[in-house]
Amino acid sequence: MREIGSQNFEREVINSKSDGVVTFTAPWCGFCKGTETVLKAVAEELSDVKFYVVNIEENPDLARKYNVRGVPTTLFVSQGEVKARKTGALTKAEIYKLINKTPVQKAQI
């Protein structure tokens, strides 16, 4: 997961050929920290999706542009378009549903 901002958002997310999950967060947000932990776990399982974090206090222009009214707000971006969005803390299952993927099943030994 990478932190990005206004200076590289378009290049990294909108113009990317890869699907991306962008979570808008704030340093004071407890739910954001929990969601980031879950997102990191999903990012380790899905190499074909890029995961990003945007700090709304440092990038208020992006928060306005993407109509972020609460944090965390998570967007799924594919082919330069926002395909899905969810505001609030997310579980692993909700992240997979947001990006329309099947959860990775770990092998049982």
From the list 24, 18, 38, 104, the residue with the least C-alpha distance to 72 is: 24
For this structure, is 6 an active site residue? no
Name the active-site residue from 4, 13, 21, 32. Answer: 32
For this structure, is 29 an active site residue? yes
Name the active-site residue from 1, 26, 29, 43. Answer: 29
Q: How far is CA 36 from CA 53, 72, 89, 95, 108, in A?
A: 8, 9, 9, 11, 26
Q: Which residues are catalytic?
A: 29, 32
